[in-house]
Amino acid sequence: MQAYHSAVNYFAHGLPYLDQPYVLAGTAVPDWLSVVDRRARVRARTVAPHADATGAEDAQLAAGILQHLDDDQWFHGTRGFVEVTGAMTREFREVLGPGDGMRCSFLGHIVTELLLDRVLIEQHPGVLDRYYEVMSEVEPTVVEANVNRWARQPTRQLDPFIPLFLAERFLDDYRHTERLLRRLNQVMRRVKLPSLPREVLPVLEHGAELVRDRQGDLLPAERYPGIG
């Protein structure tokens, strides 16, 4: 199974919830589903009734999913995200050529999110290990069973996928530009876009600098205290 080759900002979504395993897992669920079974989408209106204050596993999982969906809706509409993704898209276009607009736009979006994780991982040494330790406390069958209660269509792919996600630890590669490029090319193959040449390595390096410079706009302290 190649489903673990998904490069998105798991760490940024989960960082505030490292003391709540099922909330942490919930923050990863929408991206996990986008990799293993896109038909099994979860929507806020079906998940929200289950995110109560009982502290039960299903309530925590639902709360994490809702937090992810809310964060994405807010984040993707911010001026900082629009400006950084626009700058990244232009830099990729300069390397890949003006005729490659679709791939460059896709890269501008996904690389901004991925590099945000890179910056946060660098700023919180040792915490990535904690992320994986806490995530390993959840029971994959419990996650899948609850997701199937709320998803548009049920899936049988989530239970076997979660151990692969934990074993692969691809977030470790975000800190190393060449390994990051390898992960990106796995994503390119998954979405059936051409692989990226080594010429984009400087774009990734400069992109990390840009994300560091704009971190306050991407993750403002008033919304995400203690993260940036």
With 90 as the cut, is the pLDDT of residue 15 above it? yes
The answer as to whether 21 is a domain residue is yes
In this prediction, residue 52 carries a pLDDT of 87
Per the CB < 8 A criterion, the answer to whether 111 and 88 are in contact is: yes
Instruction: Show the domain range for 213.
Output: 10-218
Q: What is the distance between the alpha carbons of residues 200 and 172, in angstroms, rounded to a whole number? A: 20
The answer as to whether 2 is a domain residue is no
The answer as to whether 225 is a domain residue is no
In this prediction, residue 1 carries a pLDDT of 33
In this prediction, residue 224 carries a pLDDT of 85
User: Pick from 176, 175, 207, 187: which is nearest to 95 by CA?
Assistant: 207
The answer as to whether 196 is a domain residue is yes
Q: What is the distance between the alpha carbons of residues 87 and 92, in angstroms, rounded to a whole number? A: 9
Q: What is the distance between the alpha carbons of residues 15 and 128, in angstroms, rounded to a whole number? A: 9
What's the predicted TM-score (pTM) here? 0.93
The total number of structural domains that make up the chain: 1
Q: What is the distance between the alpha carbons of residues 173 and 179, in angstroms, rounded to a whole number? A: 5
The answer as to whether 129 is a domain residue is yes
In this prediction, residue 8 carries a pLDDT of 65
Helix 57-75 crosses helix 21-36 at what angle (to 10 degrees)?
60
The answer as to whether 104 is a domain residue is yes
Q: Which two tokens stand for residue 26?
A: 């919930």
The answer as to whether 202 is a domain residue is yes
Segment 23-77, tens digit of pLDDT: 999 999 999 999 999 899 999 999 999 998 788 999 999 999 999 999 999 999 9
In this prediction, residue 223 carries a pLDDT of 87
The answer as to whether 19 is a domain residue is yes
Q: Which two tokens stand for residue 83?
A: 């400006």
- Please state, in angstroms and as integers, the Cα–Cα distance from residue 91 to each residue in 81, 105, 201, 204, following that order: 15, 10, 11, 9
With 50 as the cut, is the pLDDT of residue 87 above it? yes
- The confidence band for 3, taking pLDDT boundaries of 50, 70 and 90, is very low
Read off the pLDDT of each residue in 199-205 and give the average, rounded to a whole number: 98
